[in-house]
Structure formats: C-alpha cells, structure tokens
Amino acid sequence: MSTTPLSVRVGPAPVLARVHRLGVAACFLAAGLAIGCSRQPPEADVHAAHESSSVGSTGSTADVATIPAGATTVAERLAKSPRHGEYVMVRTGPSDSVRAWVVYPERSSKAPVIVVVHEIFGLSAWVRGVADQLAADGFIAIAPDLLTGKAPPVPGTDTVEAQAATAAIRSLQSQDVQRQIAAVGQYGMSLPAAEKRYGVVGFCWGGSASFNSAVMSPAGQGAAVVYYGTSPATASLASVKVPVLGLYGGEDARVGATVPPADSAMKALGKRFEPHSFAGAGHGFLRQQDGQNGANLAAARQAWPMTIAFFRSTLGR
C-alpha cells in the first residue's frame, strides 16, 4: 500500500491528508424492459440523518458546483437543473419491476450508462441529485428504487419515513438486489441514446451492493465505484471481472476495517481494486458535506473527480 501525504487548506488551518491507494470491482445480469414512465418534480429530502465526522482530502479538488449537492442543498440544485429526468418502470424479472429515476446528459452522441444504487435510506432526493450530476458529467444515470413494492400503500421510498425505509432495505435479499441492479443496467444499455456498456456506483448500503455487483460481473458492466460500503467476503473476489474504485472516510472504522483484507485478496488475484481513504472524513461524506469542520466537503471535492475519471477511463466518455 502506498501513502501519499499532502497539505490541504480547509478553513483557517492546513490539514494533512493521506490517501491510501488500493483498488475495487463491479457487476451482475438480467433482462430489463421499460413498461412506463412519468415526469415528477423534485421533492425535499427527508433522509438527511447520515452520520459523519472530521477532516481530510487529496489530489485535485473540484469546485462545489461540479460535485453532487449535499443533503441540505440538493432540492434547490434539482429545481434548477436543465437536464431531462423522468421516472420509468423497469422489468427486473418474470414477476417484478422497479421504479427508477433516469436523467439524460445534454450531448449529441451516445453516452455510457451509470446505475446509481441508493443508500439504506432508499431513493431520496439526494440520490436523484447524484444522478443529475452524473448526467451533467456526460452519463445517462439511472437510480432504481429498490424498495419498489416493499413500501405500501404506494410502491417506493417516498411513501415511508427514513426509519421504515431502513428496516425495509435490511429485509431485502442480496440475490434479488443484484438481479435488479443487473436488469436496470441491461435496460439502460437498451436506450437509444446509450452506449452498450454501463457502470455501477453505490453509497453506504448501496456501496456494498455495488462491490457485490462486481463479484457477479454480468455482461455489459465495465466498472464499479464503492462509496463507503463494506467489502464482500474475500472468498468471493475471484469472480470479479471489472475494475473497482473504493472511496472511504478515514474516520469510518466499521467500513474501513473491511478494506485491507479485500485489497490484499484482490492484489493476490490480480484484480484491479483502487481504494482511497480520506483522512478525517466520516461515513456518508458525499451526502453530509457540511460535517466535521470541512473534512467531509474536502473529501467530496477529491472523491468526485476520481469517480468521473474512473468511469471515463473504464467506460469511455
């Protein structure tokens, strides 16, 4: 593991940040079919209770206007977005479908697809804001609501409170989640404006799902990005066939403890896994950008350019 120290100014004092470069993977398969859509306005994000801590960053930094909005500002950013976004229903199996938010980039050529896997809070306004920023960066972004049909009386995350969404997500079976993620990827590649390749990015619970999708490595998936999600069991990593990028808060001890074993196993297997740990940042740093005296924002400004560069290098522009 190599360590690159650098001084970064966050607020009034310089902060020493260290980034640990390691690695990451992506993927899984199924057939997707659009069966309906509707345009809806952005709603306020009621799931802003993500816990975070302290301070750190590394590498080039992005202007805050070019990274996803934090939880407290996403509604305003979405309201001003010039990009086309819509809800669609994607068939994910013989007897089930998921609702998904699709955002298109403003470009004349075909675009790669990114499947955005939400946190344990479900498909919130913040996740839709991430999808919108990916579209601003040139990708077709699709964020499935993996609580579709699990939150009566109306299917989807927006019918339940954060606590209920968390409980419902914990009841989901991993094989069903992976089948649905893969089906959404297949659906995305079938869009007339899409290239025939896709990547997966996930956050928190969705970060773990993104890494597990790499273990499944379905046809068409070319990359996975993991934001502060736990790593899969090392015994499963031999199945990884795509590059993985991991982005972690240095103060996120629970998740961070799972990274070194995965890194060692991926290296031994000759797999491409690129983990980065941002000193002082906590769990959920991309959402909670106002947390911990600037550390989370500093990490977000470093991590997002890494994300876009990684997807462009693995999927194309």
**Residue ranges of E strands in the chain:** 2-10, 13-21, 33-38, 85-93, 96-103, 111-117, 140-145, 194-203, 221-227, 244-249, 273-278
pLDDT in tens, the chain (317 residues): 333 333 333 333 333 333 333 333 333 333 333 333 333 333 333 333 333 323 343 457 889 999 999 999 999 999 999 999 999 999 999 989 999 999 999 999 999 999 999 999 999 999 999 999 999 999 999 999 999 988 665 557 877 777 888 888 999 999 999 999 999 999 999 999 999 999 999 999 999 999 999 999 999 999 999 999 999 999 999 999 999 999 999 999 999 999 999 999 999 999 999 999 999 999 999 999 998 789 999 999 999 999 999 999 999 87
Torsion sign (Cα): 218, 223, 226, 230? positive
**108 secondary structure, DSSP code:** S
pLDDT of residue 60: 74
Tell which phi-psi region holds residue 179, choosing left (phi > 0), alpha (psi between -120 and 50) or beta.
Answer: alpha
- Per the structure block, which two tokens stand in for 251? 């103060």
Check: CB of residue 206 under 8 Å from CB of residue 50: no
pLDDT of residue 153: 52
pLDDT of residue 301: 98
Domain borders along the chain are: 2-315
| CATH fit for domain 2-315, picks 3.30.413.10, 2.40.40.20, 3.40.50.1820, 3.30.450.20 | 3.40.50.1820
